[in-house]
Amino acid sequence: MWKTGAKMTKNQILGILYKKKGEYVLGEKIASEIDISKTKVSDEIKLLINEGYVIDSSDSGYRLMKIPNLPLPYEVRRNLHTQYMGHEIHYFKEVNSTNDVARELAENGAEEGAIVIAESQRSGKGRRGKKWISPSGGLWMTIILRPNVPPTKAPQLTLVTGVAVAKTLNEEYDLDVGIKWPNDILIGDKKVCGILTEVKADMGTIDYVLVGIGIDLNFDVDIFPPKLREGATSLKMELKREIQGATLVQRFLQNFEVTYNQFKEGKFPDILREWRRLSKTIGSYVEVHKKGRTVRGYAVGINKDGILILELDDGTLRKVISGECIHIKRKD
Ligand code: BTN
């Protein structure tokens, strides 16, 4: 956790270097300001350099030259305007899956709003047992939630998250962002983000919910196998520039906290209204695949529980609770 012990010292040093960005600060001055030894300052500076910060050291002291483009805790925390979301950040270079790390933290009492971020995942998990390719350059993150709602409402959190992601991307970038039911975020007709929600419930109450979010950020999807490549994109490919990961996390956490608070206040119908506005599925002719079976029809809406309503070719309406949805074409 970034708040405690050695990490606190590192953050204090960064705070001082930030304030004096562009100027040298003597090791002695840093040491006396935070009441540690000069050697400790030098050790902590080495750790920061290891994380990617470019810090020049000379007889005049230390000077912060460049901040790495990574969603590092200190970078996310700076200018983060939330009440609780993202106040506890667990950051890793590589993990198997941020959802698995988050599960362990949640089992050990991590608080609502704690997040896990990894630069890459060895075995990232997608929906329905699929593998989620997670190279460095992406945003791989899990949020721990402890909502006081019945477990049956937990799947709604996927839609809550989808709205917050799509809203954030729309606000930050001039792109055609929308949601494919139930939880894929698309730019145009290509997937840029997936959401995996996992729930632990006991005796009719939720213990915790893990909301895993994967956004293809600063890499080219050419590295994906051909089958996945076709339907995928990244923010860097769409915008033809690098994205500031830390800023994106901040903005997302701010939007997510607002939307999630609405959810906890029982305002899911308002969130659904927003979901419908952002939806690329409603009004599309779609195929939904589940357990070897396929249903085809026009997506005419989603109901109050987030269930997809299809109008089949014979005019009958069919509710679809879950499945893999493929957009065939838009209704004119
Ligand atoms: C999907 O299939 O669309 C869901 C993909 C979810 C991927 C994210 S990346 C962060 C978190 N950790 C995981 O292992 N999976 C989720």
3-state helix, strand, coil in the chain (%, to 5): 35, 35, 30
Banded pLDDT at 330 (limits 50, 70, 90):
low
125 lines ligand 1 (CB under 6 A): yes
Same domain, 270 and 308: no
The CATH number that applies at residue 164 is: 3.30.930.10
Instruction: Write down the mean pLDDT value for the chain.
Output: 93
Same domain, 135 and 249: yes
Q: pLDDT higher for 330 or 266?
A: 266
Same domain, 171 and 24: no
pLDDT in tens, 176-219: 999 999 989 999 999 999 999 999 999 899 999 999 999 999 99
- This prediction has a pTM of 0.92
Distance 123 CA to ligand 1 centre (A): 10
Q: What is the pLDDT of residue 22?
A: 78
4, pLDDT greater than 50: no
1, pLDDT greater than 50: no
Domain that holds residue 124: 73-278
Q: pLDDT higher for 330 or 64?
A: 64
Q: What is the pLDDT of residue 21?
A: 75
**Which tokens is 264 given?**
């906890």
Same domain, 10 and 42: yes
CB-neighbour burial class of residue 63 (10 A; exposed 0-12, middle 13-18, buried 19+): middle
Which of 91, 94, 95, 99 to mutate to test ligand 1, by most ligand atoms within 8 A of the CB atom? 99
Question: Can you list the positions of beta strands (E) in 70-221?
Answer: 89-95, 115-125, 131-134, 139-145, 177-180, 184-187, 190-202, 205-215
pLDDT in tens, 147-161: 999 999 999 999 999
Amino acid at 262: Q
327 lines ligand 1 (CB under 6 A): no
pLDDT in tens, 216-273: 999 999 999 988 898 999 999 999 999 999 999 999 999 999 999 999 999 999 999 9
For atom 2 of ligand 1, the residue with the nearest CA is 126
**Which tokens is 8 given?**
């606190």
Answer yes or no: is 332 within a domain.
no
Answer yes or no: is 306 within a domain.
yes
Answer yes or no: is 227 within a domain.
yes
The CATH number that applies at residue 47 is: 1.10.10.10
Q: What is the pLDDT of residue 305?
A: 86
pLDDT in tens, 40-58: 999 999 999 998 899 999 9
Banded pLDDT at 291 (limits 50, 70, 90):
confident
Q: What is the mean pLDDT of residues 22-36?
A: 91
Answer yes or no: is 24 within a domain.
yes
Domains in the chain: how many in total?
A: 3
Same domain, 77 and 61: no
Q: What is the pLDDT of residue 105?
A: 98
User: What is the rounded CA–CA span in Å between residue 323 and residue 14?
Assistant: 47
Q: pLDDT higher for 223 or 332?
A: 223
Which of 196, 198, 289 to mutate to test ligand 1, by most ligand atoms within 8 A of the CB atom? 196
Cα angle 293, 297, 300; round to 5: 125
